[in-house]
């Protein structure tokens, strides 16, 4: 069996590596360089504190791999479990925390609801008077996306995967529906010629909607530009500090090296749809100033002497409910996209799901019915509210 994977980011390479271990011949078509889309520009968060069961399950299955990544892949990805701390300013959000944490606990996540004073003990400098409640899990954290991508790239190469960079896919080939009855995918057309395949995997991230259109399917995946700033704060942020999120403002920060911090958020112009082939990859300094000012409103870490050092922009592939699409969209065409900022952390589990769908036609790893694109037409969406 031959499978073509479209996209050389971490989801595509995880899928390719897992398929190859099952004896599948795999060709990865990446239009640029490996990881050049979203992976290399990710913040690297890994957490199980999600508000929907399917995202929690994807996290837990992925964490099994992240926990043993160096042993499996031979690369230290600088995986640090410093925790995630979610903060709620209003009573409605705080009231949802108890239900969300109960669901997480039922699935084995050691999260807990905290009062603001207890939250301040985990995150030095936050103002407890501004918040109603918080949730915290010590097993959440972050890793280096570049190193993780290297691990998957090496594993794919060692398993015989044919990775073709600078090879854009220009069309998805399908049999005539009248002749076969289901219009099954038969391969892809690239700038260098056609490739025959029994399955094609759409792991194209921000370009996934365009790739789906090549297979005559419309998927609600929008590329949205997100930014991160590296800041030298007034008060150095300890490397043990949790990644801390003010849900209402959409502002977050996490420790970097040497007391610096990464600051981000999904507010203002950062929520606009971008052109994935022509977006600005540099940070907007006006946005960075707003991000720094927003963070300074709820934590004393960022005072008037804080200095912006650098930053960058990348793309989220966003669905209307901030949850991925993982399915066989048409016969022979598997979609693994629309992770809405969670693609890096969910890549290990997604690789297994893709390989299961290709080789078995189903999967038992997690219940993927909530990841079907049919949910949008059926009105069966459950929006992920713990968005970073």
Output the average pLDDT for the chain: 93
In the numeric block, which tokens belong to residue 292? 């720094």
Q: What is the mean pLDDT of residues 368-383?
A: 89
Kindly tell me if the per-residue pLDDT of 177 is higher than 80: no
Instruction: Write out pLDDT tens, residues 8-60.
Output: 999 999 999 999 999 999 999 999 998 877 787 888 999 999 999 999 999 99
Give pLDDT, residue 166.
96
Say whether domain 2-63+145-221+321-378 belongs to CATH 3.50.50.60: yes
- Residue with more model confidence, 78 or 384: 78
Q: Residue 257: its pLDDT value, please?
A: 87
Amino acid 328: pLDDT: 98
- pLDDT higher than threshold 70 for residue 209: yes
**Structural domain spans, the chain:** 2-63+145-221+321-378, 81-141+222-318
pLDDT at 268: 57
Q: How far is CA 320 from the centre of its chain?
A: 15
Mean pLDDT confidence for 300-314: 91
- Per-residue pLDDT band at 200 (split at 50, 70, 90): very high
pLDDT in tens, 94-153: 999 999 999 999 999 999 999 999 999 999 889 999 999 999 999 999 999 999 999 999
Q: Which residue in the block uniquely carries the two structure tokens 């963070």? A: 295
| pLDDT attached to residue 235 | 86
171 vs 177, higher pLDDT? 171
* Right CATH for 81-141+222-318 from 3.30.420.110, 3.30.930.10, 1.10.2020.10, 3.30.9.10: 3.30.9.10
Kindly state the average pLDDT of the residues 248-262: 92
pLDDT at 182: 72
The percent of residues in the chain predicted with pLDDT above 90, rounded, is 83
Supply the pTM of this predicted model: 0.94
Q: β-pairing, 243-246 with 251-255?
A: antiparallel
| Strand intervals (E) in the chain | 2-6, 25-29, 45-46, 84-88, 112-114, 133-137, 141-142, 162-164, 169-174, 185-190, 193-196, 199-202, 222-232, 243-246, 251-255, 261-265, 307-318, 325-330, 333-337
**How would you class 288 by CB atoms within 10 Å of its CB: exposed for 0-12, middle for 13-18, buried for 19 or more?**
buried
CA dihedral 240, 241, 245, 249 (to 10 degrees): -150
Looking at residue 61, what is its pLDDT?
Answer: 98
Q: Is it the case that residue 83 has pLDDT exceeding 60?
A: yes
Q: What was the pLDDT predicted at 387?
A: 79
Residues with Cβ within 8 Å of residue 330, at least 6 apart in sequence: 174, 182, 183, 184, 185, 215, 216, 217
pLDDT at 148: 96
Looking at residue 269, what is its pLDDT?
52
């Amino acid at each position: 069996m031959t499978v073509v994977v479209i996209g050389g980011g971490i989801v595509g390479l995880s899928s390719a590596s897992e398929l190859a271990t099952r004896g599948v011949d795999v060709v990865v078509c990446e239009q640029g360089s490996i990881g050049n889309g979203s992976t290399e520009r990710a913040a690297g968060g890994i957490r199980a504190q999600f508000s929907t069961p399917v995202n929690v399950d994807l996290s837990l299955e992925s964490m099994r791999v992240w926990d043993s990544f160096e042993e499996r892949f031979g690369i230290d990805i600088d995986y640090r479990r410093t925790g995630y701390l979610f903060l709620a300013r209003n009573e409605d959000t705080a009231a949802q925390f108890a239900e969300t944490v109960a669901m997480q606990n039922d699935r084995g996540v050691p999260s807990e609801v905290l009062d603001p004073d207890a939250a301040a003990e985990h995150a030095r400098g936050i103002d407890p008077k501004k918040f109603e409640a918080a949730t915290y899990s010590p097993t959440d954290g972050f890793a280096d996306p570049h190193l993780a991508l290297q691990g998957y790239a090496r594993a794919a190469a060692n398993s015989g995967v044919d990775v073709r960079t600078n090879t854009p896919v220009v069309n998805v080939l399908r049999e005539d529906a009248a002749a076969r009855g289901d219009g099954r995918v038969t391969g892809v057309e690239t700038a260098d010629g056609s490739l025959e395949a029994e399955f094609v995997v759409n792991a194209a991230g921000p370009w996934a909607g365009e790739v789906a259109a090549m297979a005559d399917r419309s998927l609600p995946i929008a590329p949205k530009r997100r930014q991160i700033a590296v800041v030298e704060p007034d008060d150095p942020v300890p490397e043990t500090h949790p990644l801390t999120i003010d849900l209402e403002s959409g502002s977050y920060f996490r420790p970097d090296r040497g007391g610096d911090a990464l600051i981000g958020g999904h507010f203002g112009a950062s929520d606009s749809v971008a052109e994935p082939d022509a977006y600005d990859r540099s940070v907007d300094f006006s946005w960075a100033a707003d991000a720094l000012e927003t963070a300074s409103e709820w934590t004393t870490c960022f005072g008037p002497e804080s200095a912006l050092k650098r930053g960058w922009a990348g793309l989220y592939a966003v669905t209307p409910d901030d949850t991925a699409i993982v399915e066989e969209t048409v016969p022979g065409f598997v979609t693994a996209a629309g992770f809405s900022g969670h693609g890096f952390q969910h890549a290990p589990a997604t690789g297994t799901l893709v390989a299961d769908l290709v080789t078995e036609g189903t999967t038992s790893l997690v219940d993927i019915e909530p990841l079907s694109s049919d949910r949008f037409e059926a009105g069966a969406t459950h929006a992920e509210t713990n968005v970073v």
